[in-house]
Chains A and B, each alone.
Chain A
């Protein structure tokens, strides 16, 4: 299954929130939708969920306009919230029924998920009697109980302790293994790097960069060197304008072009006491800061 956002535009009043957003997410893989607060992630998700229509553009599934009767979508919103005064079972079954399940199937599926997440003992308890982490797990069930084709997880790991985070990771991996499209939105780049094969970074309503994460990293311009040395001050003094010190004490040297790489390495080794010198490979965090950092 392939989900495709094709040139989606959306304005609220005078404000253009999405300006020609396009990306492709495939089944059996996790897709990271990244961007700073207010970049347009939630609006994109709401358009995908048919909360409101796009002004122009299309959402395609396997090349055809999305059919909401046939394609189920599960959503874990960033702003968590359910009915605090109602029992867990009642509300989980209700949400699964709203997504089109029969009462019987809904109850069966909810029972399975409560068991899967170790929450069966709470099924007749009111939501507000549960801890934050457990409420989070209940919320996750609302996204998964109706066995959707597309799973949207907005900041899924926030508020989880390491044990529960591990449990959630397993569940997400299961969903991916079942061939579902898992759409991640998070500011915790380590999780995105761990799960997502592809990403799209939205900046001020536009896609700043999108595609396979490895390709993005590989295609990143190789014009910086990372140097570990015992004489950082001497190098910094000689390369005043192009050398900066990193948080871990190593130096980052900006080259004028990628071709300068070889000669600069040789020059460094010849003139200073160098422990290690290598081409700078960006982390997702670096890519995010570069592409989402400034408003386009």
Chain B
């Protein structure tokens, strides 16, 4: 036990003295600060500019119709609908309009055959061009208004009809997926990033000790269980401290900029995570991290050279990516209580993500949660001990990394 603490302390110090670790943490905090201060920075710049942009600086949208009255009405409506354009009536022939677009004098043009039919001219049609959709709505509105007016309704009546408001309320009796979606997504994504980053770090750390032959001395100085748990828990603590630094600074910067973000539902929901979900998040995060970190450590011990690490860890990385995608697909499709997700909620490699997602976005009975956590705690300890055994065998093997089957056979045979 004494050895375990010494290893933990040594490894943890290693992380805090690692320039890459410190660099990434500072970079993330600065990036978060930049995002959080963004609205205020934008606001600060805006005050220097005039509130209403000069219409002549906007790109030109031409409206062309044989019927001058139609052209006039449409131009009036388009001016309101396309605030980002300088809407103008076209002069000359259709060819003139086309050459104006090609030369860049105008960005686009609506050439109306009638009130129901037009051709949209644009030089390069971008993927995000939604002008025709807006124009369709505007032209439908123009038609409806003229029709109603010609049928004897007053302008006020038409105005009321067109601007009628529908009031609605939603009462979620289970979980509100929209409310919980964002922090569930953030936790799943954070877990994914942290496991990928730190898992690889643990594996590399073990393989470095092996390739530098420091292992010869370590294995004769400390017990493998102490080594494995010390290393993995140190990486877990380092990971948590990094996350606390990142999310803590996010919370701090959010509070400093609360007025600017007040209206943003996503940001509001992230920082208003209920306490019980936060506790579940911590439990599943730590246990999920440990399960994978132990495996990464064990695999790292079987590699003789650092170059072998990338191929050796592939099976675990694939397992993790599959788990990640199962959960993300279930999340985005909204169907969380499928048999697959239920099974995944009890398998230690998938349960940290699957069960947490179900707790957040669906209704799960307390005993199901308890069972999932119990299975996860048991497997974490079991996988930890198994990893320590693999480690003890693995670190003394040099040459081609052994096959997983052979390794496990050797591990159990030895006892």
Residues of B within 8 A of A73 (CB): 220
Given contacts A94-B10, A98-B3, A98-B6, contact A83 B212 (CB under 8 A): yes
Residue B44 lies at the interface, judged by CB distance under 8 Å to chain A: no
Name B219's closest neighbour in chain A (CB-CB).
A51
- Inter-chain CA distance A254–B215, complex, in Å, is 49
- Inter-chain CA distance A77–B217, complex, in Å, is 7
Residue B30 lies at the interface, judged by CB distance under 8 Å to chain A: no
Interface string of B32-69 (1 = CB under 8 A from A): 00000000000000000000000000000000000000
Is A51 in contact with B220, judged by CB distance below 8 angstroms?
A: yes
Residue A195 lies at the interface, judged by CB distance under 8 Å to chain B: no
Is A97 in contact with B212, judged by CB distance below 8 angstroms?
A: no
Is B221 in contact with A99, judged by CB distance below 8 angstroms?
A: yes
- Inter-chain CA distance A86–B214, complex, in Å, is 12
Name A80's closest neighbour in chain B (CB-CB).
B213
Residues of A within 8 A of B221 (CB): 95, 98-99
Given contacts A95-B221, A98-B3, contact A83 B214 (CB under 8 A): yes
Pick the residue among B215, B218, B392 that contacts A52 (CB under 8 A): B392
Is A95 in contact with B220, judged by CB distance below 8 angstroms?
A: no
Inter-chain contact total with CB atoms closer than 8 Å:
50
Which of chain B's residues 1-31 have a Cβ closer than 8 Å to chain A? Answer: 2-3, 6-7, 10, 13-14
**Secondary structure dominating the interface of A:** loop
- Counting chain B CB atoms within 10 Å of each CB, which of A77, A79, A86, A98 scores highest? A98
- Inter-chain CA distance A19–B13, complex, in Å, is 44
Which of chain A's residues 57-102 have a Cβ closer than 8 Å to chain B? Answer: 73, 75, 77, 79-84, 86, 90, 94-95, 97-100
Residue B272 lies at the interface, judged by CB distance under 8 Å to chain A: no
How many interface residues does A have (CB within 8 Å)?
A: 23
Residue A13 lies at the interface, judged by CB distance under 8 Å to chain B: yes
Name B406's closest neighbour in chain A (CB-CB).
A13
Is B214 in contact with A82, judged by CB distance below 8 angstroms?
A: yes
Residue B193 lies at the interface, judged by CB distance under 8 Å to chain A: no
Residues of B within 8 A of A84 (CB): 212
Is B410 in contact with A95, judged by CB distance below 8 angstroms?
A: no
- Inter-chain CA distance A83–B216, complex, in Å, is 12
Is A75 in contact with B410, judged by CB distance below 8 angstroms?
A: no
Is B6 in contact with A81, judged by CB distance below 8 angstroms?
A: no
Is B414 in contact with A79, judged by CB distance below 8 angstroms?
A: no
Interface string of B206-232 (1 = CB under 8 A from A): 000100111111111110000000000
Is A81 in contact with B214, judged by CB distance below 8 angstroms?
A: yes
Residue B237 lies at the interface, judged by CB distance under 8 Å to chain A: no
- Inter-chain CA distance A98–B14, complex, in Å, is 16
Is B213 in contact with A81, judged by CB distance below 8 angstroms?
A: yes
**Secondary structure dominating the interface of B:** helix
Residues of B within 8 A of A94 (CB): 6, 10
Residues of B within 8 A of A82 (CB): 212, 214, 217
- Inter-chain CA distance A90–B209, complex, in Å, is 15
Give chain B nearest CB distance to A158 CB in angstroms: 14
Name B211's closest neighbour in chain A (CB-CB).
A81
Is A75 in contact with B217, judged by CB distance below 8 angstroms?
A: yes
Residue B265 lies at the interface, judged by CB distance under 8 Å to chain A: no
Is B410 in contact with A81, judged by CB distance below 8 angstroms?
A: no
- Inter-chain CA distance A46–B222, complex, in Å, is 13
- Inter-chain CA distance A83–B11, complex, in Å, is 12
Residue B396 lies at the interface, judged by CB distance under 8 Å to chain A: yes
Give chain A nearest CB distance to B203 CB in angstroms: 17
Residues of A within 8 A of B410 (CB): 13
Is A77 in contact with B213, judged by CB distance below 8 angstroms?
A: yes
Given contacts A81-B214, A81-B215, contact A49 B6 (CB under 8 A): no
Pick the residue among A52, A81, A97 that contacts B216 (CB under 8 A): A81
Residues of B within 8 A of A51 (CB): 219-220, 392, 396
Give chain A nearest CB distance to B414 CB in angstroms: 7
Residues of B within 8 A of A80 (CB): 213
Closest 10 CB pairs of A and B: A81-B213, A77-B216, A98-B221, A49-B220, A79-B213, A81-B212, A97-B6, A81-B214, A98-B222, A94-B10
Further pairs besides A52-B414, A81-B216: 12, Cβ < 8 Å: A13-B410, A49-B220, A52-B392, A80-B213, A81-B212, A81-B213, A81-B215, A82-B217, A83-B209, A98-B7, A98-B222, A142-B217
